[in-house]
Amino acid sequence: MLQKLVGGLIFSGILFSQTTANPQFSVIGDLVMDQINDSPKLSSSGVEIAIQGNVNPFARADVYLHKHNDESPIELEEAVLTIERGLPLGLGLRLGKFRPDLGRINKVHAHLFPFIEAPTGMKKVLGEEFWAPTGVEANILLPLPWYSNVSVGYFDSGIRGDIHEGEGESHDLEQNHDHNHGEEKQDFALSGRWSHFFDLNDINHIEIGTSGYLGDKNILIGADLKYKWRPNKYKSLTLEVEIFQYACWDDGPEDLYQNNCTGTYYGMVNYQFNKSYNIGVIGEVWVHQEEDEISPALFIGYSPVEESAVFRLKIGQVNHFYLPGEDKIKQDLIVTAQLIWSLGPHKPHRY
Amino acid sequence: MKKQIILFTLLSFCFGKVRVVTSTTDLADIVKTIGGDRVTVTSIARGNQDPHYVEILPSYMFKVKKADIYFMVGMELDLWAKSIINGSRNRHIDVVDCSIEIEKMEIPTGTVDARMGDIHRFGNPHYWLDPKNGKRIAKLIAEKLTNAEPKSSDLFRQNLDAFNLQLDKAILDWEKRFVNLQGKKLIYYHNSWPYFSNFFGLETVEFLEPKPGITPSPAKLNHIIQRIKSDDIMVIASESYFSDRVPKFIASKTGVKTVKLAQSVGAMEGADSYIHLFETNLKILSQAFGVEHD
């Protein structure tokens, strides 16, 4: 009887403590209007649900679920435990299913892009929804006189982007709802990134990084640079450049050059000129053995109430080239408008 | 041997200081005053920056990495501080919420949600703009510095007493010199000033923001213009980081005077310390209202 009473008290205590330390819940939804040449299309990518909070004084957990706007079930995007404090040598750990620290862009959720959609070449390499395997990643701040962070991770599956799909279809811009087909079970994957951050002064900052990845049948190296000038709360200029060189093979690294090699690059300039508006340009390049793609675009963002609702417009041209020795064969004019909204603390902010 | 002792003493004084990081320049200035030459202190937000929104930069984590104490404003003003502290991976840092001893104003009741704008659930967090709260903050800071370096407790106590004395004198002086400001009606851009207005007897009539953090709408501006005309309001005051555009538009329609006030140490010329912050703001308001002061 006494045991039951004590057990009941402990159980009710646990329940009570859980209700007093609820995690933060956020929901992000959107409405997208795409017009490729003359055919407009209204769509929504569904909703992203974020559940975030501290597990204890040393660790936090972040869970991201995505319900696409179709018949597919709710998809687990990320479920990660991050140990932020308490480990020796200033070590940090991430464990679970998450987006590894590979380049700048892989960790960025789509609703944070001022240019609406991830650069095409990056999606072709990393997959439509980017690389989010299950594994463990350690990171450490190096004892240098500036911020210098090294991350190294081991994962159960590697990158498997659109480049591995039917090559003839790779430029089909309407294959938007093929979720996570960018991942395929492999034996292992290793990834790492070394990044540095410099305050040039109070309002000018530079971040540079180099990344590497080794999978069972593929390899990637990357470099990125971000410069930001932010003289006050409502004005900023951001310059961002990122490069990936990617190669994969079927039989072994020796036939690397007989198989799939690609380079993908993007550069962006974004200018926020007052509380509500930003404008920018992005140039994307994807270089492949059989097809190249160069896509310049202009984008505009309008955020009337801080970052809880954002309207974005992008006007761009996709130029497809076939090699070798052939001229431009196809051009698509793409106009995309996006309304994105958020409930809770996880916002489509512009930082 | 004597040389070694002198060298050791010098080294301990040069490198053995309490390393402090604060969220705002106001807290940093008080830490500097209490800690004297026994502390090194860095503020994350600049004085002219909106403390609600600070971009989390890796270099801030680097600053916090080796700090002994982090003083935050609390009350959800500097929520960004948590990410910086966690990102620093500093296992030993003492994180201090300076709002714990404060008598809080404007704690919302009922359901709190985004309909109310950028509202703070635990009350208005701009409490350092009441000089009496400056004394409460200083007391807490002295306690925490003493915990970090007990051997300097006498110094911290002396500096705290000197700070309190200086602030008490300044308060008496302000109450005398700026007595004519009492009861003056004004409009603020954002609701940063309830503690300041309450202490100095100013009457807040309106805010330009319809809700905290929400840009003034045309309807709100029209309402403000009518209110200024009907109630004969003379001054619109805004924080240094807001654009002049809206206040100047209203001024062009009504003739109201527009001024900028220093919401933090370093926000404007003259506001170079916690005590000078009040002196600067009171002088600006006196001139705007055209009332006498010495």
Question: Of B222 and A166, which is predicted with more confidence?
Answer: B222
Same domain, B25 and B103: yes
Cross-chain residue pair A84–B50, CB shorter than 8 Å: no
Cross-chain residue pair B243–A305, CB shorter than 8 Å: no
Q: CA torsion, points B65, B71, B73, B74, in degrees to nearest 10?
A: 80
pLDDT at residue number A166: 45
Cross-chain residue pair B89–A343, CB shorter than 8 Å: no
pLDDT at residue number A178: 39
Closest chain A C-alpha to B28 CA, distance in angstroms = 17
Interfacial residues of A (vs B; Cβ cutoff 8 Å): 60, 84-87, 90-92, 141, 146-147, 149, 195, 197-199, 202, 205, 207, 230, 232-234, 274-276, 304-306, 308, 343, 351
Q: Is the pLDDT of residue B114 over 90?
A: no
Same domain, B193 and B133: no
Closest chain A C-alpha to B62 CA, distance in angstroms = 6
Per the structure, the complete domain to which residue B160 belongs is given by 2-173
pLDDT at residue number A175: 36
Confidence tier at A255 by pLDDT (50, 70, 90):
low
Summarize pLDDT for B269-285 with one digit per residue, the tens. Answer: 999 999 999 999 999 99
Mutation to test the B interface, candidates A26, A83, A85, A200, most B Cβ within 10 Å: A85
CA distance A302 to B217: 16
CATH class of A30-43+85-343: mainly beta
B100 and B127 Cβ atoms separated by less than 8 Å: no
Short-list A169, A176, A161, CA closest to A69: A176
Same domain, B282 and B165: no
Q: Is the pLDDT of residue B223 over 70?
A: yes
Q: Which residues of B touch A85 (CB under 8 A)?
A: 86, 89-91
Domain count, chain B: 2
Q: Check if B49 contacts A (Cβ < 8 Å).
A: yes
Cross-chain residue pair B49–A232, CB shorter than 8 Å: yes
CATH at residue B245 = 3.40.50.1980
CA distance A98 to A128: 15
Looking at chain B, how many residues does it have?
A: 294
| Boundary residue ending a domain (B155, B173, B191) | B173
Same domain, B20 and B116: yes
Summarize pLDDT for B18-29 with one digit per residue, the tens. Answer: 999 999 999 999
Confidence tier at A70 by pLDDT (50, 70, 90):
confident
Cross-chain residue pair B89–A198, CB shorter than 8 Å: no
Mean pLDDT of A5-12: 45
Q: Which residues of B touch A229 (CB under 8 A)?
A: none
pLDDT at residue number A169: 41
Short-list B190, B235, B237, CA closest to B216: B190
Cα A45 to Cα A74, A192, A239, B67, B219: the distances in Å are 12, 30, 27, 43, 35
Summarize pLDDT for B175-218 with one digit per residue, the tens. Answer: 999 999 999 999 999 999 999 999 999 999 989 988 887 888 88
pLDDT at residue number A309: 86
Confidence tier at A186 by pLDDT (50, 70, 90):
low
> Looking up tokens 């527009």, which residue turns up?
B258
* Region class of A306: left (phi > 0), else alpha (psi between -120 and 50), else beta: left
A83 and A59 Cβ atoms separated by less than 8 Å: yes
Across the interface, which of A91, A199, A233 has its CB nearest the CB of B53? Answer: A233
pLDDT at residue number A167: 42
Same domain, B263 and B124: no
| Boundary residue ending a domain (B173, B193, B227) | B173
Q: What are the phi and psi torsion angles at A26 (to 5°)?
A: -135, 150
Same domain, B26 and B142: yes
Q: Is the pLDDT of residue B7 over 70?
A: no
Cross-chain residue pair A232–B87, CB shorter than 8 Å: no
CA distance B213 to A275: 11
Q: What is the percent of chain A where pLDDT is above 90?
A: 48
Write out the E strands in chain A.
Answer: 24-36, 39-43, 47-56, 59-67, 75-83, 91-97, 134-141, 147-159, 183-199, 204-215, 218-232, 235-248, 260-272, 277-288, 291-302, 309-322, 328-343
Q: The pTM is what?
A: 0.81
Task: Count Cβ atoms within 10 A of the Cβ of residue B150 and give its class: 0-12 exposed, 13-18 middle, 19 or more buried.
Answer: exposed
Q: Is B294 inside a domain boundary?
A: no
Summarize pLDDT for A269-301 with one digit per residue, the tens. Answer: 999 988 889 999 999 998 887 778 899 999 999
pLDDT at residue number A16: 42
How many interchain CB pairs under 8 A, A with B?
64
The rounded mean pLDDT for chain A is: 82
Confidence tier at A180 by pLDDT (50, 70, 90):
very low
pLDDT at residue number A176: 35
Q: Is the ipTM of this complex over 0.85?
A: no
Same domain, B96 and B207: no
- Listed by start position, the domains of chain A span 30-43+85-343
Q: Which residues of B touch A90 (CB under 8 A)?
A: 65, 89-91
Cross-chain residue pair A304–B215, CB shorter than 8 Å: yes
Same domain, B70 and B163: yes
Which residues lie below 8 Å from residue A12, measured CB to CB, with a gap of 6+? none
Q: Which residues of A touch B50 (CB under 8 A)?
A: 233
**Least confident residue range of A47-51, A248-252, B263-267:** A248-252
B71 and B98 Cβ atoms separated by less than 8 Å: yes
Same domain, B164 and B200: no
**Least confident residue range of A123-137, A160-174, A226-240, A315-329:** A160-174
